[in-house]
Amino acid sequence: MKCTRQILFRPLLRKRCLDSGVGTLIVLAIAGGLLPDPSALAILLAALSSGRVLLGLASVVVFSLGFAATLVVVGVVAAQVGQRILDWLSSIWAMRAQIATTLLIFGMGVVLTVKAAYQVAALAG
């Protein structure tokens, strides 16, 4: 099932979209760990040019493991925080925050427009 924005805001389908198991996180970590980091490749090439093949390979492995661990941690945090954020977005406070920011932006636009009008009037006068 594809989790679109419309589905995420429907309470019955939300749980289905947000449930991701440990297997999904492991696959994400493996996929991310397989991608070589440009700085790891630079270290590998520098190590190969100096004749230290094992040091270069170890550097690439360590970089990949670090990236995979980071992806797992970010996935776990996103899974834990994601439900709370979706609950907050469906509350009245989210609507109030949207109205407040809209009024703030509109108010700043009015203030800047009035200031600009006074400056244009001063230049013309």
Instruction: List, as one string, the DSSP characters of the chain.
Output: ----HHHHTSHHHHHHHH---HHHHHHHHHHHHHSPPHHHHHHHHHHHHTT-HHHHHHHHHHHHHHHHHHHHHHHHHHHHHHHHHHHHHTSHHHHHHHHHHHHHHHHHHHHHHHHHHHHHHHHH-
Assess contact for 25 and 72: CB atoms under 8 A: yes
Tell me 36's DSSP state: P
* Mean predicted confidence (pLDDT) in 48-55: 89
Predicted TM-score of the model (pTM) = 0.45
Average pLDDT estimate for 4-22: 52
Task: Spell out the domain ranges in the chain.
Answer: 5-90, 92-125
The answer to whether 32 and 68 are in contact (CB under 8 A) is: yes
Q: Which is more confident, 105 or 63?
A: 105
Q: Residue 56: pLDDT band by 50, 70, 90 thresholds?
A: confident
Task: Note the pLDDT tens digit of each residue in 72-111.
Answer: 788 788 777 877 887 777 888 888 999 999 999 999 999 9
Q: Of residues 75 and 52, which shows the higher confidence score?
A: 52
Higher pLDDT, 65 or 21: 65
Which amino acid does the sequence have at 117? Answer: A
Phi–psi pair at 60, nearest 5 degrees: -65, -40
Measured distance CA(118)–CA(111) in Å, rounded: 11
pLDDT surpasses 50 at 67? yes
Average per-residue pLDDT for the chain:
78
pLDDT reported for residue 3 = 53
Reported as a pLDDT band with limits 50, 70 and 90, residue 62 is confident
